[in-house]
Chain A
Amino acid sequence: MLVAVGAVGALALSFGLVLGFAAVRFRVESDPVVDQIDGLLPQTQCGQCGFAGCRPYAEAMAAGEADINRCPPGGEATIATLADLLGRDPKPLDAEVGEARPRMVAVIDEDWCIGCTLCIQACPVDAILGASKHMHTVIAEECTGCELCVEPCPVDCIRMVPVTEGISVWSWPYPSDSLEAPG
């Protein structure tokens, strides 16, 4: 009797020690689900979802506080992958946050720019180049098309244009002359 209790107690103690050690030694700092969700978001940092960027939205989704259909730049494709990851049902984009649009890029009319730096401060990815009282310009490859620079411009010299599709990035269309595609 005593031996059995002692043995089980010793086992419990040793496992407890191992688990306790592992909990400290192999501790994961951030929530990996947040990282995974963040990895699926398009990183425009536009805030159309109502959160201050993609990561805060990812954190809210992981905590179950936000729905998966609030990312207009990601569109249906992002909703589908998020639904897959989180085991939720895909649903159409929330009309409240806007609608999916083709990727855009900001263009500064350099003749009108007064060099106020307000757009530089607004850009979430530092894609606008310029200095106070000097003309600014957008680094097109790094612009995410978030539109956050449009509003602050006091002379309205920033406009959004659709990204032009070159031959090197052209994609074959989905075959249309065949059976209906499944939903």
Chain B
Amino acid sequence: MSDRLNRFPGGLQLEGFKELSNREPTVPAPIPERLVLPLQQHIGEPAEPVVEVGQRVLKGEAVAAPGGYVSVPVHASTSGTVVDIGEYPVPHPSGLKSLCIVIEPDGEDRWCEREPVADYRSLEPSELRNRIRGAGIVGLGGAGFPTFIKLNPGPGRSIDTLVLNGAECEPYITCDDRLMRERPDEIVAGARIIRHALQARRCVIGVEDNKPEALEALEGVAVDGIEVVAVPTRYPAGGEKELIKVLTDLEVPSDGLPMEVGVVMQNVATAAAVHRAVERGEPLISRYVTVSGQGVAHPRNLEVRLGTPVADLVAQCGGPEADVAALIMGGSMMGFALHDAHAPVVKTTNCVLAETRQGIPEPEPAMPCIRCGACAEVCPVRLLPQQLYWHARAKDFDKVQDYHLFDCIECGCCAYVCPSYIPLVQYYRFAKTAIWAQEREREKADLARRRHEARLARLEREKQEREARHREKRAALAARSADGEKKAAIAAAVERAKAKHAETVSAEGPAESGDGETGKRPPDASSRRSA
């Protein structure tokens, strides 16, 4: 089968350490004393709480609603009482706290009302997407992008192939392996639902050939022409663009999405979650998590309720051993060190590694780059890691983007082979987030400029309006006083006429009346003028 497969460039043969944790069947983790549910467990806008402190919730009840389009709800993973909504440590490389809903379980683990769909084919793709969104499903492979958005190719674009990603190429991680062995039926059922939602013609499940049991299990239940394909074990075969290249020989364009070449990829665990959401009415409240590394006595997989503290899982697996140096969330290549062992398991948590000091020796001090080019040979995206490194180090963010920094998938192959032990990926991560920060600053500056200009325009307009008003008033006043003068003239004329009349009648004291003619003004006219 593998003779018609293709290769992606670069990559590494890594020791897998999979047998540490993939031998024993998965067991459920007990309900913890407290569940801490972060509102941001996905890429996009954080969810917004819809419960209050003190409120009782049932298992599967939504406790937070989507906070935007790129957002999904969060559900209670057991029944209990909301005891706090506040800032708690979350699994994130920054070690910062984030808003979480804390639930104290009541131990009953009572489900809320579930609404399973008997026949998914009776639903329109849009209705299926709504249900998948309502169940809070995001990519469970690690990125955490809301699944319902990936199931919407948009008008005028058709999807040819749905690829399910069961490659699980990173060392130590075996949660997808165990899921494929234990619940292949759920994965295939989910694949059929997703294929229906996308109206895709073909469906391929790609699994690395170091998981023969998983391949066998899937082949045993695959129906409806779903293909199960073994792909050569080579890191990072589980990368989205890499697996698409291997399975379909299609290359996703730089800055592009797989949709643009008619492919959509979902993780196998995501497919199982879709099946549970649609055909059982269960939202995403638990997942398989690998607990491994030299720092635990019994490495294995656990089915964990979201919100369970990582420390509980490590304890359940007989750890941590005395000399644990760090708890790592994710695998040994792309994971990050946890700052707080009480950080909860979230939707994207696939693995917890308890590493001893022997397991992760102190990083060697970095030495100057010797331009050997080993990094470029292993880069699966065919980037030039050396050039990226120079420009990221010099903080030349325009240049680093000219070398397609944002196509870097941070797989870590370049840093792994670097003979000078340069932490290359750290430079790329630094450059990426620094560029985003600059963009945010720029947007903020543009907003401030627009608002400042609008304010200046408003002040100018107000000034002109005020002046216009003053002009008008003056004009009105002038008109009125002109009016008054006319009246005064008339009054004076009347006075004169009266005086003349009096003169002719009395024919007496002409000098006096003449005086009155010129000097005397009607009282009403003068008062008006002064007004």
Contact of B430 (CB < 8 Å), options: A45, A125, A142, A174: A174
Q: Tell yes or no: A99 within 8 A of B by CB.
A: no
Number of A-B contacts (CB under 8 A): 84
Give chain B residues whose Cβ lies under 8 Å from the Cβ of A182.
Answer: 393-394
Q: Tell yes or no: A26 within 8 A of B by CB.
A: no
Contact of A43 (CB < 8 Å), options: B93, B436, B449, B454: B449
Contact of B449 (CB < 8 Å), options: A38, A167, A169, A175: A38
Residue of A nearest to B45 (CB): A168
Identify which of residues 46-98 in chain B touch chain A, using a CB-to-CB cut-off of 8 Å. 46, 90, 92-94, 96, 98
Task: List the one stretch of B158-166, B438-446, B465-473, B501-509 in contact with chain A.
Answer: B438-446
Q: Are B394 and A124 in contact (CB under 8 A)?
A: no
Give chain A residues whose Cβ lies under 8 Å from the Cβ of B446.
Answer: 43
Given contacts A43-B448, A142-B447, A181-B393, contact A171 B363 (CB under 8 A): no
Q: Tell yes or no: A93 within 8 A of B by CB.
A: no
Give chain B residues whose Cβ lies under 8 Å from the Cβ of A171.
Answer: 430, 433-434, 436-437
Q: Are A167 and B430 in contact (CB under 8 A)?
A: no
Give chain B residues whose Cβ lies under 8 Å from the Cβ of A177.
Answer: 363, 365-366, 423
Give chain A residues whose Cβ lies under 8 Å from the Cβ of B433.
Answer: 170-172
Q: Are B93 and A172 in contact (CB under 8 A)?
A: yes
Quick one: CB contact mask for B445-462 with A, threshold 8 Å, 1 for yes?
Answer: 111110110110010000
Q: Tell yes or no: B40 within 8 A of A by CB.
A: yes
Q: Tell yes or no: B429 within 8 A of A by CB.
A: yes
Instruction: Say how far A74's CB is from chain B's closest CB, in angstroms.
Output: 9
Instruction: Please measure, in the bound complex, the distance between the C-alpha atom of A168 and the C-alpha atom of B46, giving whole angstroms.
Output: 9
Instruction: Say how far A171's CB is from chain B's closest CB, in angstroms.
Output: 4
Give chain A residues whose Cβ lies under 8 Å from the Cβ of B155.
Answer: none
Instruction: Please measure, in the bound complex, the distance between the C-alpha atom of A144 and the C-alpha atom of B395, giving whole angstroms.
Output: 25
Instruction: Say how far B250's CB is from chain A's closest CB, in angstroms.
Output: 32
Instruction: Please measure, in the bound complex, the distance between the C-alpha atom of A145 and the C-alpha atom of B94, giving whole angstroms.
Output: 25
Residue of B nearest to A170 (CB): B94
Give chain B residues whose Cβ lies under 8 Å from the Cβ of A168.
Answer: 40, 46
Residue of A nearest to B437 (CB): A171
Q: Tell yes or no: A108 within 8 A of B by CB.
A: no
Residue of B nearest to A181 (CB): B393
Chain A contributes a number of interface residues (CB within 8 A of B) equal to 30
Instruction: Please measure, in the bound complex, the distance between the C-alpha atom of A181 and the C-alpha atom of B430, giving whole angstroms.
Output: 13
Instruction: Please measure, in the bound complex, the distance between the C-alpha atom of A168 and the C-alpha atom of B68, giving whole angstroms.
Output: 15
Instruction: Please measure, in the bound complex, the distance between the C-alpha atom of A53 and the C-alpha atom of B394, giving whole angstroms.
Output: 31
13 A-B residue pairings within 8 Å (CB atoms): A38-B449, A43-B448, A53-B452, A125-B452, A125-B455, A144-B448, A166-B96, A171-B437, A172-B429, A173-B430, A175-B430, A177-B365, A178-B366
Residue of A nearest to B96 (CB): A167
Instruction: Say how far B45's CB is from chain A's closest CB, in angstroms.
Output: 9
Instruction: Say how far A163's CB is from chain B's closest CB, in angstroms.
Output: 10
Q: Are A172 and B363 in contact (CB under 8 A)?
A: no
Contact of B437 (CB < 8 Å), options: A53, A127, A169, A174: A169
Q: Are B451 and A126 in contact (CB under 8 A)?
A: yes
Residue of A nearest to B428 (CB): A172
Q: Tell yes or no: A54 within 8 A of B by CB.
A: yes
Q: Tell yes or no: A165 within 8 A of B by CB.
A: yes
Give chain A residues whose Cβ lies under 8 Å from the Cβ of B434.
Answer: 171-172
Q: Tell yes or no: B154 within 8 A of A by CB.
A: no
Instruction: Please measure, in the bound complex, the distance between the C-alpha atom of A182 and the C-alpha atom of B440, giving whole angstroms.
Output: 26
Contact of B445 (CB < 8 Å), options: A41, A126, A174, A178: A41
Give chain B residues whose Cβ lies under 8 Å from the Cβ of A43.
Answer: 444-446, 448-449, 452
Q: Tell yes or no: B464 within 8 A of A by CB.
A: no
Given contacts A165-B96, A166-B96, A167-B98, contact A175 B426 (CB under 8 A): yes
Instruction: Please measure, in the bound complex, the distance between the C-alpha atom of A179 and the C-alpha atom of B389, giving whole angstroms.
Output: 12
Quick one: CB contact mask for B475-519 with A, threshold 8 Å, 1 for yes?
Answer: 000000000000000000000000000000000000000000000
